[in-house]
Amino acid sequence: MDDNKFNQYADKKAYNNLPTPEGQHLAPFLVEDWDTVKAMDLNRENLETWHFSGIPVLVAFTPVTPEQFPGTMKLFWSDVRQYIANLHGDPNVISYDKFLEDMEAEGEGGYDPAQTESFENTTLLGMIIDDLIREVGEKNSRYGRILNLIKQEYTKGEILDALLAEYGIKKTQAYAEIKAAQKMAKDLYYAD
- Residue range 110-168, pLDDT digits in tens: 444 444 455 556 666 777 788 889 899 999 999 999 998 998 888 888 999 999 999 99
Centre a 10 Å sphere on the Cβ of residue 131 and count the other Cβ atoms it contains.
13
pLDDT in the model for residue 183: 92
Same domain, 97 and 131: no
Q: State percent of the chain over pLDDT 90.
A: 37
pLDDT in the model for residue 111: 46
Same domain, 83 and 136: no
Same domain, 7 and 77: yes
Same domain, 133 and 79: no
Residue 180 inside a domain? The answer is: yes
- 59 within 8 A of 49, measured Cβ to Cβ: yes
Same domain, 9 and 100: yes
Same domain, 7 and 95: yes
Same domain, 57 and 135: no
Number of domains in the chain: 2
How far is residue 2's CA from residue 30's CA, in Å, rounded to a whole number?
24
pLDDT in the model for residue 181: 92
Same domain, 14 and 63: yes
- 18 pLDDT tier (thresholds 50, 70, 90): very high
Residue 163 inside a domain? The answer is: yes
Residue 109 inside a domain? The answer is: no
Domain extent, residue 16, equals: 3-104
Residue 119 inside a domain? The answer is: no
- 50 pLDDT tier (thresholds 50, 70, 90): confident
Same domain, 17 and 83: yes
Same domain, 80 and 143: no
Left if phi > 0, otherwise alpha if psi is -120 to 50, otherwise beta: which for 39?
alpha
Pairing of strands 55-64, 48-52: antiparallel
Q: Does the pLDDT at position 173 exceed 80? A: yes
pLDDT in the model for residue 43: 86
Same domain, 28 and 100: yes
Per-residue pLDDT tens digits for 95-104 = 444 555 555 5
